[in-house]
Chain A
Amino acid sequence: MHSQETAVAASATVPQKNALIAGLRRYSRSPTGLAGASLVLLVFLAAILAPWLAPWDQREVDLLNVLGSPSRAHLLGTDELGRDVLSRVIHGARPALIVSLSAVALAMLIGVPLGMAAGYFRGKVDTVIGRVVDAFLAFPTLILALAVNAMLGAGLVTTIVSLGVASWPGFSRLVRGQTLSLRERDWVTAARALGSNSPRILFLHIAPNLVSVIIVVSSINLAGYILAEAGLSFLGLGVPPPAVSWGRMLRTGYPFLESSFWPAVVPGMAIFITVLGFNLLGDGLRDFLDPRLRQK
């Protein structure tokens, strides 16, 4: 009996494993997707390995070496307090990723169930959720996040909450559209005919078919959150010190632009690379997960 179960399990995992390898192989053929994945991987590695990768302590002040040009000791120079710019940029990857990943999780947590409910139940539920979504969509993400952060006080958690709350309607609208189409499919009608109740249909038959589109949109949204967090920090309402934020680095380096460009230019490059990475990853995933595009 035991060997039979093992054999069944093995036969089930082998095709799955093969499909995964085939999928990865197909994804790796897309130059866009591959470039995006490489850049994102680079940023993740910087965030995880920051204490080991950074050549200096990111908070170490050296007033004798203020705004030092790039040199062998400080590859990307020092800032207005003599801190190593390279070390600060590497450490800046952490709050950027923490904020964006948490904000996307929060936006999904609110937007996906509401979108599914609106698309599946339609009628009054759809009307009510639709109007709330419309109202939230009228707020430019950065403006709502600015208002919440200004009123609550800037902080890591506030930034996550404000970005998540400002962006859930996008997920809701997308999921609603997909659910509206999925609920008319034959397998859903069959499940309903067999007596499945609504929660069962939503979780077992509709939710799995939403995964790919949610992954693609999440990746593109992550890029937006990186930009928004940097924007908030640039305006002085993002992640506060002692955490290093790329947006704040840019702001504090900006007044010294005339004499030393690196404290402002380098963090901007880090934001650009990260956003580019997530955008390209999203494009690659969309091409990979959308069968219509794959056939083309």
Chain B
Amino acid sequence: MTAYIIRRLLLTAPVVVLLSVIIFVVLYVMPGDVALAVLGQFASPAELAAMREKLGLDRPAVVQYLSWAGKIFKGDFGTSFFYGEGVPVLQTILQRLPVSLQLGASAIVLGIALGLPLGIIAALRRNSLIDLGVTSFAVSGLAMPSFWMAILLILLFAVRLDWLPPSGFVPFAEDPIGNLRHLALPAFVLGVDIAAVVARLVRSEMLEVLGQDYVRTARSKGLREHVVVLRHVLRNALIPVVTLLGLLAGRLVSGSVIIETIFALPGVGQLTVSSLFNRDLPLVQATLFLITMGVVFGNLLVDLAYGYLDPRIRHA
């Protein structure tokens, strides 16, 4: 297992370097003057030149990249153009991170709590009305744009019934009930998307495993059905679901960018969108780098868990 972990870490290192290059290229080679975005259209040419020099934009691209990459690997992402003079970008992101983490964790818990039993029941009652219902839910959940579902839920629960707030956020420490009420709709929207993916995968994996010889053997030994399902079927069917959790990280980040914007949640997703609109380069670079790092290391953890659960993987 140690050799497997070292091998996976060695494979991740060049990916991290490549990611930093891609982010730099996407943001620096693009047209548009960052100095102009900072100072506004009424700035004089002298002011613009001074700002370019201050930001280091007059240096060759390679020098700029090496300087930026050197700093970020030390944890220095620079200071934001718009969030106060001298405020480190990392501080701004870390302030927003708990909101996104709470939203993401709630969505994952909800998604698994909903998707897992639905997938299992659908597989065990194949071709029944329940199966049809679960499959229809999964297909519809995957096809429904999250922002549309959010709008429909706001219309019903906030506008018509007045049960939940349409937007905004209250920290858990300040008002636990208010916090949960504000997160209910956004977490549900993201959770349904995850539940649809999980239910679909669990159903198909369960069906695959149910047809295996060792399940027939377990049944022929006279084991009770729930023992067969829990001990032999579910355990094997869940291994691919672990991989799915890694893939869901990216889906969740994309979803939260839109959902945080609709529900006015002060998270990293909303910060990413506003920094892109403001052309706040240090903040854009930092959010992109940290989001992708989150996905890379999330996938790495999933790979390691997968290797632990399935010995065939680490010996491959």
B-binding residues in A (CB < 8 A): 131-132, 134-144, 146-148, 150-153, 223, 227, 230-231, 234-237, 247, 250, 254, 257-258, 261, 264-265, 268, 271-272, 275-276, 279-280
Alpha-carbon distance A150/B15, docked complex (angstroms): 24
Alpha-carbon distance A227/B146, docked complex (angstroms): 9
Q: Does B272 contact A143, Cβ atoms closer than 8 Å?
A: yes
Which of chain B's residues has its CB closest to A254's CB?
B151
Alpha-carbon distance A254/B167, docked complex (angstroms): 13
15 contacting pairs across A/B (C-beta < 8 A): A131-B18, A132-B18, A135-B15, A137-B295, A138-B299, A142-B258, A144-B26, A147-B288, A152-B30, A152-B31, A268-B151, A268-B152, A275-B144, A276-B140, A279-B142
CB-CB under 8 A for A139 and B151, given A150-B276, A268-B145, A276-B139: no
What's the least CB distance linking B27 to chain A, in Å?
A: 6
Which of chain B's residues has its CB closest to A264's CB?
B151
Q: Does B143 contact A272, Cβ atoms closer than 8 Å?
A: yes
| Residue B117 at the chain A interface, CB threshold 8 Å | no
CB-CB under 8 A for A142 and B254, given A132-B18, A257-B154: yes
Q: Does B151 contact A138, Cβ atoms closer than 8 Å?
A: no
Q: Does B148 contact A268, Cβ atoms closer than 8 Å?
A: yes
Which of chain B's residues has its CB closest to A273's CB?
B143
Number of interface residues of B (CB under 8 A): 44
Contacts of B139 in A (CB 8 A): 276, 279-280
Alpha-carbon distance A287/B11, docked complex (angstroms): 35
Alpha-carbon distance A150/B30, docked complex (angstroms): 10
Alpha-carbon distance A112/B295, docked complex (angstroms): 24
Please, what's the 1-or-0 string for B138-176, where 1 marks a CB less than 8 Å from any CB in chain A?
011011110110011011000100000000000000000
Alpha-carbon distance A280/B135, docked complex (angstroms): 11
Alpha-carbon distance A160/B185, docked complex (angstroms): 32
Which of chain B's residues has its CB closest to A261's CB?
B155
Please, what's the 1-or-0 string for B70-89, where 1 marks a CB less than 8 Å from any CB in chain A?
00000000000000000000
**Which B120-148 residues have a C-beta within 8 angstroms of A?**
139-140, 142-145, 147-148
Alpha-carbon distance A150/B276, docked complex (angstroms): 6
Alpha-carbon distance A272/B142, docked complex (angstroms): 9
What's the least CB distance linking A162 to chain B, in Å?
A: 10
Alpha-carbon distance A140/B251, docked complex (angstroms): 7
What's the least CB distance linking B126 to chain A, in Å?
A: 12
Q: Does B258 contact A231, Cβ atoms closer than 8 Å?
A: yes
Which of chain A's residues has its CB closest to B253's CB?
A140
- Describe B's contact surface by its main secondary structure: helix
Which of chain B's residues has its CB closest to A32's CB?
B139
Alpha-carbon distance A265/B156, docked complex (angstroms): 12
Alpha-carbon distance A264/B262, docked complex (angstroms): 13
Q: Which of A134, A151, A276 is in CB contact (< 8 Å) with B15?
A: A134
Q: Does A143 contact B253, Cβ atoms closer than 8 Å?
A: yes
CB-CB under 8 A for A231 and B253, given A138-B19, A150-B277, A152-B30: no
Please, what's the 1-or-0 string for B290-303, where 1 marks a CB less than 8 Å from any CB in chain A?
01110110010000
Please, what's the 1-or-0 string for B1-23, where 1 marks a CB less than 8 Å from any CB in chain A?
00000000001001100110010
Alpha-carbon distance A137/B303, docked complex (angstroms): 15
CB-CB under 8 A for A272 and B22, given A138-B292, A257-B154: no
CB-CB under 8 A for A275 and B251, given A131-B18, A138-B19, A138-B295: no
Alpha-carbon distance A150/B254, docked complex (angstroms): 15
Contacts of A131 in B (CB 8 A): 11, 14-15, 18
Contacts of B272 in A (CB 8 A): 143, 146
Q: Does A257 contact B273, Cβ atoms closer than 8 Å?
A: no
Which of chain A's residues has its CB closest to B144's CB?
A272
Contacts of B271 in A (CB 8 A): none
Which of chain A's residues has its CB closest to B275's CB?
A150
Alpha-carbon distance A44/B280, docked complex (angstroms): 40
**Which B225-257 residues have a C-beta within 8 angstroms of A?**
250-251, 253-254, 257
**Which B1-57 residues have a C-beta within 8 angstroms of A?**
11, 14-15, 18-19, 22, 26-27, 30-32
Q: Does A146 contact B155, Cβ atoms closer than 8 Å?
A: no
